[in-house]
């Protein structure tokens, strides 16, 4: 029996790794422009880190977490998302000192959710995420979205489209929630089975259910904007103004809610083309109450996460360059048993000096080896046959001009440092 990978979990093969590296490199470069610092967070945390912040009634906590008791009986969970861990680390390392500090962080890594595997939905997937702690300035909301859109454009996501909403805050959202519950009360029968549950536990989630009957049902439901308190309405207007100043196009969607409990005020999502039904590549929002709720000081924050699998899917083959497939600097060609050992000694020396070197394990004919060297795109071939071995020399051939010269083998360091033209 051949053992296969777990359902919903994918290998990223060497042929695709170039795209992944390019996306990660661009992310680090773009984050640098905004002065964000990378944080590497643990893959697993105490379960309560997620249960408390993501919310007990969310899909993630109720159905999707990979939770287990370890041998010591500790309740642990493979992280389903990054924000909760980031908040945990932010508090644990007192990153809020001194008062008023603004802390921009980003992370890159795998997340785990036990969802039904399908196109664009995996059980292990990867996110690039940003979190900005320490300010509730509406300019920060716009800047964080600008960062996201700049990154998406830099990597070549196809037609990224920003959707914007505000979920209000603890002052105004409860009245909206109640009004939505009242609205749904005598329409429960037309909801999908999942939303019948959500009606009880997390009614806001009914608003962005993808099932057609639910979408139809909520078409005439109350929307959050008519419930915003003055402060939330003002914040939203200021965010819009700042987005305008940054020349960012967006679409307002008052039915957009997020699947995590910690959001307040600004929420946003980015869709891209080339993805089919699961077209959301990124999502985020404000979570002004989460740090305090998690035991830290009263520090506002905002963040987002991009799904790397969907992003790479959207980029398509334009991201096709393969970083590991760059041409070698030097190909070694060798013939004869004693030259074999010498060839690998020379290859080792060249690699120590920083050269990319190909050296075949199996000796085929001189013609075949030279053919391979020509095709490889290498600048030089270093040829060592029986005769060269006996004379302690090598032939160094310039593959573009086809000129070659015999060198003492001792010249190898010189050639590594300064390959002859
Ligand atoms: P969705 O509505 O698609 O389930 P979500 O609201 O659960 O998304 P977030 O938790 O906000 O998504 O995560 C942000 C991004 O991470 C998503 O936009 C998506 O690109 C990606 N993502 C989320 N879950 C998965 C998954 N199971 N497989 C692949 N990518 C995912
Ligand atoms: Mg989800």
The pLDDT of residue 187 is 93
- Measured distance CA(30)–CA(392) in Å, rounded: 51
Whole-model pTM? 0.91
Q: Which ligand is nearest to the CA of 270?
A: 1
Q: Give me the mean pLDDT over the 301-312 stretch.
A: 97
pLDDT band (50, 70, 90) for residue 319: low
Q: Looking at the chain, how many residues does it have?
A: 421
pLDDT surpassing 60 at residue 320: no
Please count the other Cβ atoms lying within 10 Å of the Cβ belonging to residue 353. Answer: 15
CA-proximal residue: ligand 1, atom 11 (nearest)? 283
The pLDDT of residue 39 is 98
CA distances from 167 to 142, 225, 229, 279, 314 (A): 16, 8, 11, 22, 28
The pLDDT of residue 60 is 87
DSSP state, residue 360: -
State whether the beta carbon of 115 lies less than 6 angstroms from ligand 1. yes
Please, are residues 409 and 393 in contact by the beta-carbon 8 Å criterion?
Answer: yes
Please, are residues 91 and 134 in contact by the beta-carbon 8 Å criterion?
Answer: no
How remote is the CA of residue 259 from the centroid of ligand 2, in Å?
7
The pLDDT of residue 421 is 61
Q: Which ligand is nearest to the CA of 210?
A: 1
Residue with more model confidence, 111 or 420: 111
- Measured distance CA(375)–CA(151) in Å, rounded: 36
Test site for ligand 1: of 283, 304, 306, 313, most ligand atoms within 8 A of the Cβ = 283
Q: State the average pLDDT for the chain.
A: 94
State whether the beta carbon of 281 lies less than 6 angstroms from ligand 1. yes
Q: Give me the mean pLDDT over the 108-128 stretch.
A: 96
pLDDT band (50, 70, 90) for residue 208: confident
How remote is the CA of residue 5 from the centroid of ligand 2, in Å?
22
State whether the beta carbon of 309 lies less than 6 angstroms from ligand 1. yes
What is the distance of C-alpha 120 from the center of its chain? 14
Q: What is the per-residue pLDDT across 25-82, written as a single tens digit (0 to 9) for each? A: 999 999 999 999 999 999 999 999 999 888 888 888 888 999 999 999 999 999 999 9
How remote is the CA of residue 216 from the centroid of ligand 2, in Å?
21
- Measured distance CA(396)–CA(373) in Å, rounded: 12
CA-proximal residue: ligand 1, atom 6 (nearest)? 259
**Phi, psi (degrees; rounded to nearest 5) at 290:** -70, -40
Q: Which domains, and CATH codes, for the chain? A: 17-172+228-320 (3.30.930.10), 330-417 (3.40.50.800)
Q: Give me the mean pLDDT over the 193-206 stretch.
A: 90
Please, are residues 27 and 140 in contact by the beta-carbon 8 Å criterion?
Answer: no
Coil, strand or helix at 186: coil
């Amino acid at each position: 029996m051949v053992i296969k990978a777990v359902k919903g979990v994918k290998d990223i093969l060497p042929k695709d790794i170039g795209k992944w590296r390019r996306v990660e490199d661009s992310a680090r470069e773009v984050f640098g422009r905004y002065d964000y610092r990378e944080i590497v967070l643990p893959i697993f945390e105490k379960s309560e880190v997620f249960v408390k912040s993501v919310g007990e009634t969310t899909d993630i906590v109720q159905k999707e977490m990979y939770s287990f008791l370890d041998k010591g009986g500790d309740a642990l969970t493979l992280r389903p998302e990054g924000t909760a861990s980031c908040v945990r680390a932010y508090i644990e390392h007192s990153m809020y000192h001194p008062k008023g500090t603004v802390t921009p962080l980003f992370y890159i890594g795998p997340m785990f959710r036990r969802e039904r595997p399908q196109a664009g939905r995996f059980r292990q997937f990867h996110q690039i995420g940003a979190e900005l702690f320490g300010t509730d300035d509406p300019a920060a909301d716009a800047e964080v979205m600008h960062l996201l859109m700049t990154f998406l454009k830099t990597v070549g996501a196809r037609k990224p489209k920003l959707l914007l909403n505000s979920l209000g805050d603890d002052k105004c959202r409860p009245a909206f929630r109640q009004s939505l519950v009242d609205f749904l009360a005598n329409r429960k029968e037309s909801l999908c089975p999942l939303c019948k549950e959500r009606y009880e536990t997390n009614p806001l989630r009914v608003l962005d259910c993808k099932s057609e009957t639910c979408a139809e049902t909520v078409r005439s439901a109350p929307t959050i904007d008519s419930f915003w308190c003055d402060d939330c309405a003002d914040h939203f207007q200021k965010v819009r103004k700042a987005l305008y100043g940054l020349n960012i196009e967006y679409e307002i969607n008052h039915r957009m809610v997020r699947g995590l409990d910690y959001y307040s005020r600004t929420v946003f999502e980015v869709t891209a083309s080339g993805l089919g039904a699961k077209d959301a590549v990124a999502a985020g929002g404000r979570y002004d109450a989460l740090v305090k709720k998690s035991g830290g000081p009263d520090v506002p924050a905002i963040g987002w996460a991009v799904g790397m699998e969907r992003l790479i899917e959207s980029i398509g083959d334009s991201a096709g360059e393969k970083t590991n497939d760059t041409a070698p600097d030097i190909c070694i060609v060798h013939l004869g048993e004693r030259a074999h050992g010498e060839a690998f000694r020379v290859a080792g020396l060249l690699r120590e000096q920083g050269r990319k070197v190909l050296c075949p394990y199996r000796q085929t004919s001189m013609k075949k080896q030279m053919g391979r060297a020509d095709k490889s795109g290498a600048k030089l071939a270093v040829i060592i046959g029986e005769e060269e071995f006996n004379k302690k020399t090598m032939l160094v051939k310039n593959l573009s001009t086809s000129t070659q010269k015999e060198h003492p083998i001792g010249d190898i360091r010189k050639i590594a440092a300064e390959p002859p033209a």
